[in-house]
Amino acid sequence: MSDSGGHRTSDAPLVEVRGLQKYFYEQDSLVDALLRTDPVAVKAVDGVSFDISAGETLGLVGESGCGKSTCGETLLRLQEPTGGTVHFDGENVFEMQNSDLKSFRRNAQFIFQDPFSSLDPRIPIGRSVREPLETHDWPWTEPDVETEATVRTDGVPRDRVAVSVAADIDKVVTPENGVATATVTVRQLASAADSGEEERGRDTSDTIEATVEEDLTIGVQTDGDRIDVDVSVGRSNKQLRKERAAMLLERVGLSADQRDRYPHEFSGGQRQRVGIARALALNPDFLVLDEPTSALDVSVQAQILNLLSELQAEFDLTYLLISHDLSVIRHISDRVAVMYLGEIVEIAPSEKLFRNPAHPYTQALLESVPRVSTAEQDRNIETLSGDVPSPRNPPSGCRFRTRCPKVIPPPALDIEQPAYRTVMDIRERIENRSLDLDGIREQLANEGKSTGTDELVRELEERLIDTDLDRREAENVETAFRAIANDEWDRAAELLRAEYESICETVSPELQDANDHQAACHLLDDRSVAEHRDRDGTVDSRE
């Protein structure tokens, strides 16, 4: 496992996620166990796989309930996974124990969404930034590392000078090849030195001045002919931590004098900066950022995004950026993964995804975002119908099929897409038995109409059919409605299923293996995504 700031030597991705699963169980208390009620699994993350290479930014985008935040937290083991593996720098995160896990926590950090609750309100911000340093007992000194000094003299014979170097200067000085070196200069001054300003790296005695280049403390004493110079850190660990915290606060654009203030004295944007400073304290390699700017004003968002870009370049960071805001994702990500109901439906380099989205959900998502342009009002948006299904009971096969505007009819069937979508919606309602027949009967009665089968069927047709259906479809639907009027729900469902069953509901689409642009959609089954790409974003769906 590499140390803080260490460089990777292998070409393998920094983060490898395979089949990650996180289920939350409801109805799982003691009482339920006694009553033998089965726990219900909320499948927040259900089989997610991706890689992140060192230095890149992977954007994870999706709407609420898709599981992206849970994915990020589970990846860093802030939640215990239900299944799958995550390898960080070659090591299996879920099998780590104790010291390895602690090491992992140094290298992989999380930045939270809500700047108002990500800082302990009772702890001054300087202290919050120091907390990771304290937990890991930074700064570290390796007993194996040797310490020495390179000595330069100016007007003083070298043999008069005796330099001693403390063993723990590697807390401050980065060792090279196992040796931490302090660069010391001993000078003869023309006249007896005035001490001038107290400087840590400079000390004088009589007419001898000793300075050290690094951020260390130097002391010099003359004893007759001998000049004794000693180099040490000169500060306690606590002070070093305070210094680092101050440096981090400045780096993120705040003033170090504010370190004793409480979080509530700062604005949202400033608090988010504190959160970033804290995450960087231990010089991690990898950061998971969960909606880092969602709670901020637009103009502050820009400041934070710019800051994150700068920091990534400066500290060689790898980011997993989680957001629902496509514009933010596009602005800062190299690659993008789109999540829906616990699964990744598309993953591709950023530009390819935004220019040529392959998955119907991605297409719908992109279409829905209003553009900041005067031409926006003329743009016609096809909106998705309905709401996201419950993660307790996700649809079989492709999870997006219940709302997909391009759901695939059976190959033998010749049908228009809008009609097929209507029929599929009706099938969904029948299979879930979510048609309130009694309510309809009641309403018919209130209106003074009869509540016989014919009227019921007519009413259902009026309510549920909003496109023109061919005769065959109209007949099938009518038969099904008659069946349910007779309370034969299963028969109705079976009837329609036999005619209209789609591959989208029977077979779960997998991410296609083609190159770097993958999408989990049956529309792409028989052709490579490369082909699709050439077609400028529209896929022939037998419309």
Phi, psi of 6 (to 5 degrees): -70, 160
Residue 221 makes contact with other proteins by CB under 8 A: no
The three-class DSSP label of residue 490 is helix
Interacting span for other proteins (CB under 8 A) from 10-18, 73-81, 139-147, 157-165: 73-81
Residue 411 makes contact with other proteins by CB under 8 A: no
Residue 444 makes contact with other proteins by CB under 8 A: no
Q: Between residues 193 and 440, which has the closer beta carbon with respect to other proteins?
A: 440
How far is it, in rounded angstroms, from Cα 158 to Cα 154? 9
Q: How far is the CB of 175 from other proteins (least distance, A)?
A: 24
Phi, psi of 206 (to 5 degrees): 55, -120
Q: Between residues 181 and 270, which has the closer beta carbon with respect to other proteins?
A: 270
CB 353 within 8 A of CB 336: yes
Q: Which of residues 337-356 bind other proteins (CB under 8 A)?
A: 354
Residue 213 makes contact with other proteins by CB under 8 A: no
Q: Between residues 109 and 147, which has the closer beta carbon with respect to other proteins?
A: 109
Q: How far is the CB of 147 from other proteins (least distance, A)?
A: 28
Nearest to 248 by CA among 223, 281, 225, 215: 281
Q: Between residues 117 and 396, which has the closer beta carbon with respect to other proteins?
A: 117
Q: How far is the CB of 373 from other proteins (least distance, A)?
A: 6
Q: Which of residues 170-189 bind other proteins (CB under 8 A)?
A: none
Q: Which residues contact 19 (CB under 8 A, 6 or more apart)?
A: 47, 48, 49, 83, 84, 85
- The single residue among 51, 131, 142, 455 that binds other proteins, judged by CB under 8 A, is 131
Enclosing H/E stretch for 217: strand 217-223
Q: Between residues 100 and 215, which has the closer beta carbon with respect to other proteins?
A: 100
Q: How far is the CB of 109 from other proteins (least distance, A)?
A: 6
Q: Between residues 156 and 288, which has the closer beta carbon with respect to other proteins?
A: 288
Q: How far is the CB of 81 from other proteins (least distance, A)?
A: 15
Tell me which residue has tokens 């930074």.
Answer: 138
- The single residue among 8, 152, 160, 330 that binds other proteins, judged by CB under 8 A, is 330
How far is it, in rounded angstroms, from Cα 28 to Cα 534? 50
- The single residue among 3, 95, 120, 206 that binds other proteins, judged by CB under 8 A, is 120
Residue 443 makes contact with other proteins by CB under 8 A: yes
Strand order across the beta sheet in which 91-92 lies: 40-52, 15-26, 83-88, 91-92
DSSP string of 341-410, one letter each residue: TTEEEEEEEHHHHHHS--SHHHHHHHHHSPPSSTTGGG----PPPS-PPPTTSPPSSSTTTTT-TTPPPP
Q: Which of residues 46-65 bind other proteins (CB under 8 A)?
A: 63-64
Residue 40 makes contact with other proteins by CB under 8 A: no
Residue 132 makes contact with other proteins by CB under 8 A: yes
* Total of residues contacting other proteins (CB under 8 A): 92
Q: Between residues 23 and 266, which has the closer beta carbon with respect to other proteins?
A: 266
Q: Between residues 88 and 266, which has the closer beta carbon with respect to other proteins?
A: 266
- The single residue among 3, 148, 314, 436 that binds other proteins, judged by CB under 8 A, is 436
Q: Which of residues 367-406 bind other proteins (CB under 8 A)?
A: 367-374, 376-377, 379, 381, 383-384, 387-388
Q: Which residue stretches of 384-538 are H helix?
A: 417-432, 437-446, 453-464, 471-485, 489-500, 503-506, 529-534
End-to-end CA distance of the chain: 53
Q: Which of residues 239-298 bind other proteins (CB under 8 A)?
A: 257-258, 260-262, 264-270, 275, 278, 282, 297-298
How far is it, in rounded angstroms, from Cα 520 to Cα 509? 5
Residue 324 makes contact with other proteins by CB under 8 A: yes
Q: How far is the CB of 362 from other proteins (least distance, A)?
A: 11
For CA atoms 383, 387, 391, 395, give the dihedral sign.
negative
Q: Between residues 191 and 373, which has the closer beta carbon with respect to other proteins?
A: 373
Residue 439 makes contact with other proteins by CB under 8 A: yes
CA 22, 27, 32 angle in degrees (round to 5)?
Answer: 135
SS3 content of the chain, % helix, strand, coil (to 5): 35, 20, 40
How far is it, in rounded angstroms, from Cα 28 to Cα 40? 8
CB 438 within 8 A of CB 451: no
- The single residue among 22, 43, 87, 127 that binds other proteins, judged by CB under 8 A, is 127
The β-bridge relationship of strands 318-323 and 57-61 is: parallel
- The single residue among 101, 162, 179, 313 that binds other proteins, judged by CB under 8 A, is 101
